[in-house]
Structure 1
């Protein structure tokens, strides 16, 4: 046991000297910073492995029997003490910047330099019985107890800081999310305000769906309706690549004169079929929800315009057929959720 115990503590000692040489030095930037971090981790690993092996050997040989006469209590204290030392050693090794726990910053950047030697010294006493006959037991036992208690209290402080920071960090995240939402909302409102109501309404149709912020949606609707010919404007865009945006508007908003849209909706669906087919040909990696929102917008629009003499089934059938466009071998397929939705609609409405 003595030989292997000393070998393990020698490994821990080498790791300690490595930590001591890097203690207090600022973390370099770039690739050098990554190398510095790995060096700290390897040095800590040497300390941790060495102390763990030495502790296991001493415990196995009964060298810690003085801790308590009760085996269960002794085992618990050894495990808790070892855990405290490992956790403390890790944070002491990584205590090189402002991200360390408060207790480590309080002790300073050189905490690993002065906190670990007493532990290593007691380790050599425990694995070398002849040293125990030279050094009074009360000295090394109280050194060990004091070091472990010191580590345990530090760990409790770290845990306490972590628990105290949970609500603080949650509040900070909530505030950041709120600020981001406010900024995004102001950006949308500014974009709506700067939109030309005569020529560029199609660019703000995305702000009119039911999921948008109420203020943003109302501002977009007001801008759109400030154009006296806004309905005719939307009708004309149904036969263009902007058809998807128009369908998104029609799905969630009413129009005064539905008759203007009856025929153009059919043309818009055919335009969407072209876009679906183009998307099927151009997409490399599909995902399940692809084309789903567009499909919902089309079907919801049709539902709102029921009662016209136009039969939209043929157009929807072409929309569905576009999703059967043959794929190339390099394209990654997916189970498109819009397909069963369209199949169900066609089954219900086909005569």
Structure 2
């Protein structure tokens, strides 16, 4: 029974390997370039039986001492070398078959010397090597070097090619990362040029609301400095901030106050309280009307609100009620909207309120 099962596994493993390997050989030998990546797609489809056949047949070969001549002092190293070489050989076989008709510029440099012919040599060698490892009787009449040397050469070349492909993949990844960073820097520089031009064109009495956005500590230093200089030249900045805090522009005023001081912060304390309560109503409306809320939906506004509340609490204010109103707004029912979202702002406010209660 055991012998029957072993024979069945041998045949199954070799059949899968033969299907994948000789399928790759036929694709590689074909002169049809294929359309829309047809050759690559066919090789991709054949890769599954090829990989399964390689792992099973060469794994069984190791288990049955067919590769006892590979790293004879270490069983673990033997498994590693044989299976790594087998999979690397499969990679070379698939790559050479898929890319044989491609221009050299489209072929990884590790496959340049192999792409025109490796599929025709690797396929029969892989199948023959597996068969000889699985059935000892088939190799009994052969000199050991006659089958070991070709397999050792195939495995060594395949491992080198696979290592080259890995190095090239890492190089390409690093180049893409560098290009992405360079593009981001260019985009940031272009954005800064555009924003600086907008700040320069702004008239402080007319465009104060727009300038407020550029006074944040998160803005680039040059833009922020120019925006602050223009804002400081306003004829009555405290009055303008008071009106913004009490009206629909409260978020812009909070942006300014998060990072900067008004000419008279104390005079703005009632307006700040009203702004935070108004922000709570804005949040209630968003909870009711916004179809899709992301976890960070209120994070930026909450950061500004907490910073301003702490700043004005230090002047003798008390914004605990406003913070509770903001927290209650996040519990506003959202009928018809699902699934429910776990807002970061909920945990942040709960933490802040708990710390506030713990204060003497």
Q: 1:145 to 1:78 in 2, by over 3 A?
A: farther
Equivalences for residues 108-119 of structure 1 within 5 A? 108=115, 111-119=118-126
In 2, Cα distance between the equivalents of 1:114 and 1:272?
73
Matching residue of 1:10: 15
Tell me if structure 2 keeps the 8 A contact 1:270–1:318.
yes
Q: Which runs of 5+ in 2 are unaligned?
A: 1-5
Matching residue of 2:67: 64
Which of the numbers 257, 268, 280 marks the counterpart of 2:275?
A: 268
How many residues align? The count is 344
In 2, Cα distance between the equivalents of 1:42 and 1:161?
24
| Residue 147 of structure 1 pairs with residue 154 of structure 2 | yes
Matching residue of 2:182: 175
Tell me if structure 2 keeps the 8 A contact 1:84–1:155.
no
C-alpha displacement of 1:244: 1.2
Matching residue of 2:259: 252
C-alpha displacement of 1:151: 1.5
In 2, Cα distance between the equivalents of 1:135 and 1:334?
70
Q: Which runs of 5+ in 1 are unaligned?
A: none
Which of the numbers 45, 48, 55 marks the counterpart of 2:48?
A: 45
Matching residue of 1:219: 226
Which of the numbers 199, 207, 215 marks the counterpart of 1:208?
A: 215
Larger CA deviation: 37-46 vs 156-165: 156-165
Which of the numbers 239, 247, 261 marks the counterpart of 1:240?
A: 247
Matching residue of 1:76: 77
Q: Secondary structure at the match of 1:337?
A: helix
Tell me if structure 2 keeps the 8 A contact 1:88–1:151.
yes
Q: Secondary structure at the match of 2:282?
A: helix
| Residue 190 of structure 1 pairs with residue 214 of structure 2 | no
Which of the numbers 49, 54, 57 marks the counterpart of 1:54?
A: 57
Q: 1:333 to 1:10 in 2, by over 3 A?
A: closer
Q: Secondary structure at the match of 2:217?
A: coil
C-alpha displacement of 1:247: 0.8
C-alpha displacement of 1:252: 1.0
C-alpha displacement of 1:106: 4.4
C-alpha displacement of 1:140: 2.1
Q: Secondary structure at the match of 1:254?
A: coil
In 1, Cα distance between the equivalents of 2:117 and 2:179?
31
In 2, Cα distance between the equivalents of 1:341 and 1:129?
71
C-alpha displacement of 1:302: 4.2
Tell me if structure 2 keeps the 8 A contact 1:281–1:325.
yes
TM-score normalised over the length of structure 1 = 0.77
In 2, Cα distance between the equivalents of 1:242 and 1:201?
11
Matching residue of 1:340: 350
C-alpha displacement of 1:221: 2.0
Task: Please report the RMSD computed on the Cα atoms of aligned residues, expressed in angstroms.
Answer: 4.0
